[in-house]
Structure 1
């Protein structure tokens, strides 16, 4: 089989695979565009509840926030409190699955449950991952998106073979890499756009597609961890404490110590600080983050013994096992957040280009089949 014949077989496989997965791939790409700045929009949603700075009133204590949550949910000991390093910022807090935004000066509940922005992003995420299927059907939706993603990876790789010009030269590559001012007809324009946008977005889309396999397939995780000679860690379900009786040292004292530790270790410009209690008895974890979230290299965890107030452990990403570091990096390479705002923007743009690829590819494929039918 010569290369021309091989390329023809690849073309038809590319065409039929593309038509098969086109709708699902388009949904995942389009929702990917909508999710581009998810973290920023959620943060802005909470910032809308910021209060006018009142110099006559002090910010309520961490102890007070915990007591508010305990009063509302006395049987829920697993609590999160997030302090944003900005005057007047509302205080996000959780008791189990119950979320609140709390007034920083009065302790009043500003918002119970998620806001409209958060709920909207939940819907978009569920469409992206599960095609909005719920309950027992969610696994079906996840399976469809999982295998559509594998087809997508095949389309990217086979597309390179189809793209290759007959005679590779600087001129031929330039013709295949840049948009033209004029086109013979719509089909010519769509085909050329498909090639050009496909090649420029290829490396980014390959990263997005490959990292997505980690969310679906055990073999992908085994391969990633296996590169570092590690096993995929198993999640142990530990019984969480039913009360916070073991917490002797006040949470305000722990918060002050966490701030001091951050100041002494180059994190004086922290953006937010999370306190988690009630997951393990006698342990409080502070997550100190320089970013608005999802930048693991810019954050670390600080663990306290709530009986003595002593620091028992500090944990940076570099302290994680190599496999877990790679998984964490892959997780946020998928969204572009690993590189911050610029990375998110690039991920959003190539997701938009992917929508164009699906659109042009589908029209080209359908037209090719119609022409083939006319010939017969």
Structure 2
């Protein structure tokens, strides 16, 4: 089979896939770029609301349990689902009351304050809904998720096949220059061809990472494949494997939980250079959580559920410390360390709720190879694994994806509905480029 025939065999599925999935790919790319810096923008817009007046340098702070009581008193219908404490003296304590809702509590006075940046939060919530479910609500979300999953797979195929179609048959300055960098003075098909190939080439490495990790998030078979390739048994649930339950010693009859404050105090000793300490509680509503993510440390802006995947297994708090059908459950606190690596990692310390004894301390280094790889996949998808540099690359590549859709549609339109008047602006070297490479 000649290379020309094989190129055509690759070209036509490339073109058809782009035409069919192009609109959804464009939506996912645009919304992906919009939410790339969600955490940073929300934190910046809400910085004033998160700050409190420190009465004095040695002012006593209310206990975490007292702060939860103040929230329940001020919001009787609220069901606290998590608490996040910050080391700065002038930082309020965040108490989540759902998957994406929460309030700030003054640690000195107990004053309950609403979160700010409502406009930004609503915007990012809308962008995430369109990115994950095409804006579908309720029972229609599985349909939206299926469409975005298939479209993401098509985007991965387009990226890989596009590299083959881009690859010049002869590596000379004349053949490489039109598809390696932007050229001025072009119009119509020649311009779209140049833009499509140039953007595709430079954005290709990042797009392959984004789409391949998106496949792992969308499909359990892809997630299981990561574990199998790492030589690890895949978990039953999709997403990074949860840790084995921590066995709590049977408490004496009549023993009562000691509360959260002693556990937070011990957590601070476990990681002196801590950045945040978070506990997930049993309350709050989490509709349509989607695939399970990494546990308490997988959080979005100000302790909210992470982007890309839903919240992980709940770390049990005081609402789930009773005997229950399987006996008492440990309280697990996620502790993020300043300057820790990987950037998304956190130590998870499980406590006996009756004595405060540390039952298990687990860090990212303790995960098996499959769990490490799967967790990296989740944060590579948003670029957060590499900090602001990774997020910026993800945002730029996503915007490149929007332009690839635009130029791909334009080239397809001209292929099926060619203009009768040849373009006078086409350059000789562009005119001689094979049309099969312009998809």
Q: TM-score, length-normalised on structure 2?
A: 0.75
- The gaps in structure 2 that reach 5 residues or longer are 246-253, 281-316, 322-327, 423-439
User: 1:323 — aligned with what?
Assistant: 370
Matched, 1:81 2:83: yes
User: 1:62 — aligned with what?
Assistant: 64
Structure 2 vs 1, CA of residues 293 and 93 (structure 1 numbering), >3 Å: closer, same or farther?
farther
Distance 1:261 1:33 in 2: 37
Contact persistence 2:258–2:355 (CA under 8 A): yes
Aligned CA RMSD, in angstroms, stands at: 3.0
Aligned match for 2:196, one of 187, 194, 203? 194
Contact persistence 1:295–1:337 (CA under 8 A): no
What are the residue-to-residue correspondences of 1:30-49 with 2, within 5 Å?
30-49=30-49
Contact persistence 2:74–2:112 (CA under 8 A): no
Mean Cα deviation higher: 327-336 or 277-286 = 277-286
What are the residue-to-residue correspondences of 1:165-180 with 2, within 5 Å?
165-169=168-172, 172-180=175-183
Match of 1:8, SS state, is helix
Q: Deviations over 1:249-294 (max 9, x none)?
A: 343222221111112xxxx1x2211134145535222211136999
Aligned match for 1:271, one of 275, 280, 294? 275
Distance 1:72 1:108 in 2: 9
Matched, 1:144 2:153: no
Distance 2:31 2:366 in 1: 34
User: 1:109 — aligned with what?
Assistant: 112
Contact persistence 1:100–1:113 (CA under 8 A): no
What are the residue-to-residue correspondences of 1:193-212 with 2, within 5 Å?
193-212=195-214
Contact persistence 2:46–2:115 (CA under 8 A): no
Structure 2 vs 1, CA of residues 294 and 211 (structure 1 numbering), >3 Å: closer, same or farther?
farther
Contact persistence 2:68–2:80 (CA under 8 A): no
User: 2:14 — aligned with what?
Assistant: 14
User: 2:53 — aligned with what?
Assistant: 52
- The gaps in structure 1 that reach 5 residues or longer are 239-244
Distance 1:189 1:322 in 2: 46
Contact persistence 1:46–1:90 (CA under 8 A): no
Distance 2:223 2:350 in 1: 28
Contact persistence 2:62–2:109 (CA under 8 A): yes
Structure 2 vs 1, CA of residues 128 and 75 (structure 1 numbering), >3 Å: closer, same or farther?
closer
Match of 1:344, SS state, is helix
Matched, 1:261 2:263: no
Distance 1:199 1:108 in 2: 54
Distance 2:260 2:112 in 1: 20
Mean Cα deviation higher: 39-48 or 10-19 = 39-48
Distance 1:19 1:294 in 2: 41
Q: Which has the higher helix share?
A: 1
User: 1:99 — aligned with what?
Assistant: 102
Equivalent residue pairs, number: 362
Aligned match for 1:248, one of 254, 257, 261? 257
User: 2:121 — aligned with what?
Assistant: 118
Structure 2 vs 1, CA of residues 75 and 311 (structure 1 numbering), >3 Å: closer, same or farther?
farther
Match of 1:149, SS state, is helix
Matched, 1:285 2:294: no
What are the residue-to-residue correspondences of 1:287-326 with 2, within 5 Å?
287-290=334-337, 297-326=344-373
Structure 2 vs 1, CA of residues 111 and 171 (structure 1 numbering), >3 Å: closer, same or farther?
same
Q: CA deviation at 1:317?
A: 1.2
Mean Cα deviation higher: 46-55 or 209-218 = 46-55
Q: CA deviation at 1:85?
A: 1.9
User: 2:291 — aligned with what?
Assistant: none
Mean Cα deviation higher: 4-13 or 167-176 = 167-176
Mean Cα deviation higher: 96-105 or 250-259 = 96-105
Structure 2 vs 1, CA of residues 114 and 283 (structure 1 numbering), >3 Å: closer, same or farther?
farther
